[in-house]
Chains A and B, each alone.
Chain A
Amino acid sequence: MVTAERVWEALAEIPDPEIPVLSLVDLGVVRDVEVDGERVHVGFTPTFLGCPALEVMREQMAERIRELGAEPDVEVLSEGWSSDWITEDGHRKLRDSGFAPPSGKAPATLVQIQTGAHPCPYCGSTDTRLDNLFGPTPCRSIRYCNACRQPFEQFKTL
């Protein structure tokens, strides 16, 4: 019989469809796993509401659970996802691939344009500037590092 631990491991192998260096577990979208006999319930909060990866993520989780020989029940929770839920491991993987992890949630939410709050994932300098609040997906902004002259993608704080 499948255990919750086994399910978590399996879900941790599914890459995010748009940022494949991260798994769905690293991203913090899997909130809870409950095993009830043959049935596996997964509570899931997608990142941005307009994220087209939502359906892909759902289907991949269901598929992986079926491969474990269980019946998937993936529930989309109404609670809003926060970029604070990206794991430490996730932060490291993002940085390693030249992608700046989100800074912590600030009450003022203007964190995105604060200077000094966004170190460059390549050289670590905080001398970076916002180039565009919007990027290739709803969850990313574009910044530029004045020190190493490298543009980079910044995960938005949400």
Chain B
Amino acid sequence: MSAQELLSFADDELILGWRNSEWTGIAPFLEEDVAFSSIAQTEIGHARAWYELAAKELDADADSLAFDREPDEYLCAPLVEMRMAGDWARTIARHWLYETADRIRIHVLLNSIDREVADLAEKIDREETYHRMHAEMWAERLRDEPAFRKAVDELWPYALGVLPEGQRPLLCEAVEREEGEAVERRGHTEELRPLWEEMTMVRRSVPGASW
């Protein structure tokens, strides 16, 4: 599997993990505070595992792939970049759309001819089951809320952009929506740079230090 593909998975999980962690301490109630913090931790664990595989291909190290690239070099989908802490309906809409898309992507990877990729996908798939259960429970609860429906409409083109074109019909089927124009992975929103500045601040403060 190409390093670029591995990096796109890793970047999605790292950036979304970061965004999810922004709910720590301010979620609507304590259970969700714990849930989003735990989900963030697992996503970042998955990012690390993908970075480690990419690092082997590129003869680099996982930390430097995660933190030493310029914002423009990240390959994450725009869906994961947006800051949503404080807006529960949007957060759940993204969570549900992303987890659904991610399931489709991971299930394709289970059959990868690259053994390491298939093994890692299998491991991640089992852990993600818990994220999906959480996302589906919330999507079910908010399904008829205008704020949630509006957020799903807004984010739908971004959700399509998480997947390569060939996998998009599966997403349409899963969430019962028509395929439309996608916001592709090639570009970034303006929200990535401030996140990157915060995320890499300590590391950039003493380049090359061992932490």
Q: Taking beta carbons and an 8 Å cutoff, which residues of A are in contact with B?
A: 48-52, 78-80, 109-110, 112-113, 131-138, 142, 156, 158
Contacts and interface: CB of A to CB of B under 8 A. Distances in A.
Contacts of B123: 49, 78, 80
A62 to B, nearest CB: 19
Contacts of B126: 80, 109, 158
A138 B38 contact: yes
A113 B133 contact: yes
B46 interface: yes
Interface string B189-209: 000000000000000000000
A78 B41 contact: no
A110 B134 CA distance: 11
Nearest to B38: A134
B49 interface: yes
Given A80-B126, A135-B34, A50 B116 contact: no
Contacts of A134: 31, 34-35, 37-39, 130, 134
Contact of A78 (B39, B42, B119, B130): B119
A135 B119 CA distance: 26
B111 interface: no
A79 B42 contact: no
27 contacts: A48-B127, A49-B42, A49-B49, A49-B127, A50-B46, A50-B48, A50-B127, A51-B45, A78-B115, A78-B116, A78-B119, A78-B123, A80-B123, A109-B129, A112-B130, A112-B133, A113-B133, A132-B34, A134-B34, A134-B37, A134-B39, A134-B130, A135-B38, A137-B38, A138-B38, A138-B127, A142-B34
Contacts of A132: 31, 34-35
B142 interface: no
* A-B residue pairs, 10 tightest by C-beta: A50-B45, A80-B123, A134-B38, A49-B45, A134-B35, A50-B42, A78-B119, A132-B31, A50-B41, A109-B129
B130 A50 contact: no
A8 to B, nearest CB: 25
A133 B133 contact: yes
A109 B46 CA distance: 20
Contacts of B46: 49-50
Contacts of A158: 126-127
B34 A110 contact: no
Contacts of A79: 119
A113 B136 CA distance: 13
Contacts of A49: 42, 45-46, 48-49, 123-124, 127
Q: Which of A134, A142, A158 lies at the interface centre, i.e. has the most chain B CB atoms within 10 A of its CB? A: A134
A118 to B, nearest CB: 15
B139 to A, nearest CB: 14
Contacts of B44: 50
Nearest to B43: A50
B164 to A, nearest CB: 24
Contact of B35 (A48, A78, A80, A133): A133
A142 B130 CA distance: 13
A141 to B, nearest CB: 8
Nearest to A51: B45
Contacts of B182: none
Q: Which of A113, A131, A133, A135 lies at the interface centre, i.e. has the most chain B CB atoms within 10 A of its CB? A: A133
